[in-house]
Amino acid sequence: MRCRSLAPILSLTLVAACGGGGPQESVPTDIRTAAMHTPPPASVTLAGSLQAELGCPGDWQPDCAVTGLAYDGDDDVWQQTLTIPAGSWEYKAALNGTWVENYGLNATSNGPNIPLDLAAVTDVKFYYDHGTHWVTDDQRSVIATVPGSFQDELGCPGDWQPDCLRSWLQDPDGDGIYNFSTNQIPPGNYEAKVTHGESWDENYGAGGVPGGDNIPFTVPAESSVQFEYDPTTHVLTISTAADLLVLTVDAGTVTAAEGSTATNSGTVSGPEGEVIALSVSSGSIVNNMDGTWSWSLPVGDGPAESQTGITVTAETATGSITDVTFDLAVDNVAPTVDLGPSMSARPDELVEIVATWTDPAAEMDQPYAWAWDTDDDGIADVEGTATYGETILLTISFPTVGTYPLVLTVTDKDGGADSAEVTVDVGNEPPVCSEATPSMDSLWPANHKMVSVEIFGVYDPDGDAVSLVVDSIWQDEPVNGTGDGNHGPDGAGVGTSSMDLRAERDGGGNGRVYHIAFTAEDGYGGMCSGDVAVTVPKSQGPNGTAVDGGPLYDATEAAL
């Protein structure tokens, strides 16, 4: 915080419906920990162009322990003194042995490299405070602390400890003004001074006087304390919450899904009676006038709209100003694909699958890549791209009966993908043979002539054209038997759709019955079998009806 003055048949249609050499970028006891938006690190490495000179395998090595900083639990600060050769160097603080989390100039995540220019070999002490993410050294920065009668309240080993960094004055934003804030000092009267270099060798008291008097201050109940130091004048200004403009943020990093509204909040307070104006570098902010503020920002496309360093600024009419920052991470949301309900079809019938998709980022996530898997092998058979709002039409047919899954995958420009499946149930009803009848059920007169007979009544429930084949013709009397006129064969047409039957019977018998067996097919694998009977009566009299003796003789055989 800164505080300072001022395989099937198918067709497809689309229808509109790092700085030089390196990357750029405990127990809390004070307000500075409000900036700690990641867990305390397991290690902190000074990574930069000076590492090879110090014994690392190379430069910019975030996992080289030779340049690792050591955590001091008394100070709650990572620190280490290293002997650096003369030259111009650059460095950053890399956490946990990788570049995933690193801090550079002005405590910036993934920020610029920190320059270090040395005219001679120098013992340089480096520091990293995870509460503020400030990484610096004692050559480019004043290492100033505030020893006083309050330090034991902060967790220091005792009071008046110039080497206790729990009251370290810091300048993360590089404006030349050093600050330290805390809410850990109980109400009471206290004294303080400023020291340089973690010792009493250089110290300043009231009015910035070297070795001057202690600076008294009083802490009211439920109040924080702000220490502000100007190393040019050496003046230390101590203010309490009643005098300070205080701004905090609840979340150091806000995560939101694209298409949603990102929100954050915090607190703001200032000198009694002062009107506080709030502004923000991105989005909208509202002073709720109850000591809190609310921020919002509609986000459309993730992660493109992610931001670092969104700054909330509070300012009073008298010119006091302070700010806090936080980061915004916008997550990509994958498209949602819709193929509609499952469909039914006949063999070889063309069906049309209408595919649509939605995405919170809409046009901002195009182009969208699509891929159809039409044969259930997990491999794309047809691929393409589309803009948002287009409809993908798949026209397809299947030759045989079965259930066919079709899968469409749509992927946005950020790699978010969704798949949907629709099934096409291909079915076929076989022909019906049970209602078959001959075109004539009786042949008369029995004049020994061949009569053409067809089979009627066979149909297909699906309306398919039916092809019918005569499989056999049998009769219950011998061919060219005694008294039948001495003719044969008596039947013909096996293998065709109709037959010829001879109009004759044994004159001394009880009439003749022909048994015709047939098969019907619809062209799509559906078939049925049946039979019909045709008689030749004994006579036309009341007792002349033929009596069926069963299919005993093949009517298509030649007479013996």
Alpha carbons 329 and 373: distance in angstroms, whole number: 34
In the chain, the N- to C-terminal Cα span, in Å, equals 120
pTM beyond 0.85: the answer is no
Which 8-state DSSP code applies to residue 70? E
Query: 244-273, pLDDT tens digit by residue?
Result: 788 999 999 999 999 999 999 999 988 877
Output b/e per residue, 221-255; b: 16+ Cβ within 10 A: eebbbbbbbebeebbbebbbbeebbbbbbebbebe
Query: 304-329, pLDDT tens digit by residue?
Result: 999 999 999 999 988 889 999 999 99
CB 312 within 8 A of CB 247: yes
Q: What confidence score (pLDDT) does residue 221 get?
A: 84
Helices marked H in 409-501: none
CB 159 within 8 A of CB 151: yes
Query: What secondary structure does DSSP assign to 113-126, as a single string?
Result: PEEEEESS-EEEEE
Alpha carbons 261 and 256: distance in angstroms, whole number: 7
Alpha carbons 191 and 75: distance in angstroms, whole number: 20
The residues near 131 (Cβ < 8 Å, ≥ 6 apart) are: 26, 28, 30, 32, 33, 35, 36, 76
Alpha carbons 59 and 52: distance in angstroms, whole number: 5
φ, ψ (nearest 5 deg) of residue 207: 75, 10
pLDDT-derived band of residue 15, with 50, 70 and 90 as boundaries?
Answer: very low
Q: What confidence score (pLDDT) does residue 542 get?
A: 87
What would the mean pLDDT of 538-560 be, rounded to a whole number? 90
What would the mean pLDDT of 118-145 be, rounded to a whole number? 97
Q: Which amino acid is at 262?
A: A
Query: 171-227, pLDDT tens digit by residue?
Result: 999 999 999 999 899 999 999 999 999 999 999 999 999 999 999 999 988 788 999
Alpha carbons 546 and 37: distance in angstroms, whole number: 103
Q: Is 309 left (phi over 0), alpha (psi -120 to 50) or beta?
A: left
Q: What angle do CA 226, 232, 237 make, to 5 degrees?
A: 20
Query: 492-519, pLDDT tens digit by residue?
Result: 999 999 999 999 999 889 999 999 999 9
Query: Parallel, antiparallel, or unpaired: how do β-strands 343-345 and 417-426 relate?
Result: parallel
Residue 10, pLDDT above cutoff 60: no
CA–CA distance from 477 to each of 195, 386, 511, 545, 553 (Å)? 133, 75, 9, 15, 7
Would you state the structure tokens that stand for residue 414, as one six-digit string? 């950020």
Q: What confidence score (pLDDT) does residue 24 get?
A: 32
Alpha carbons 475 and 533: distance in angstroms, whole number: 9
The residues near 550 (Cβ < 8 Å, ≥ 6 apart) are: 476, 515
What would the mean pLDDT of 454-478 be, rounded to a whole number? 96
* Domains located in the chain, CATH noted: 31-137 (2.60.40.10), 144-240 (2.60.40.10), 246-331 (2.60.40.10), 336-426 (2.60.40.10), 437-554 (2.60.40)
Alpha carbons 315 and 384: distance in angstroms, whole number: 54
The residues near 543 (Cβ < 8 Å, ≥ 6 apart) are: none
What would the mean pLDDT of 430-453 be, rounded to a whole number? 96
Of 214, 269, 267, the C-alpha closest to 240 is 269
